[in-house]
Amino acid sequence: MQCDTIKKGVECTFMTSGGCNYKQGQCHPVVDKCEGCERTHEFGGQLYCKSYADPAMKWVHSACNFATHVQATVDKSGRVKVNPIKASKRASKKR
């Protein structure tokens, strides 16, 4: 449905017929770490994320998975950091 609170006219997954279904009832502005992301858009003089209602929560543990301006982390040996569980599954499929 289309948002009728802050991002008027934008398709939002949190909108229902009863209004905004997100925790606080509205989207939150982006944080400093979101600067340069292509998913930000200005609504009413403030920047908001088009993909997520509370961008600060996406940056709590590590980089936001929606961020278009962040590259994958590289360890000291020059390889991209891979989840060990996913790596073992990939290795078992190649047998």
Q: What is the pLDDT of residues 31-60, one digit of tens each?
A: 998 888 888 888 878 888 888 888 888 888
Whether residue 7 is contained in a domain is answered as no
Residue with token string 């858009």:
41
Whether residue 5 is contained in a domain is answered as no
Domain of 26? 15-93
pTM across the whole model: 0.61
Whether residue 9 is contained in a domain is answered as no
Whether residue 40 is contained in a domain is answered as yes
Whether residue 6 is contained in a domain is answered as no
Please state the domain count of the chain. Answer: 1
pLDDT in tens, 59-95: 888 788 888 888 766 656 666 677 888 888 888 887 5
Whether residue 78 is contained in a domain is answered as yes
Q: Are 7 and 43 in contact (CB under 8 A)?
A: yes
Whether residue 20 is contained in a domain is answered as yes
Compute the distance between CA of residue 55 and CA of residue 67 in angstroms, rounded to an integer.
Answer: 10
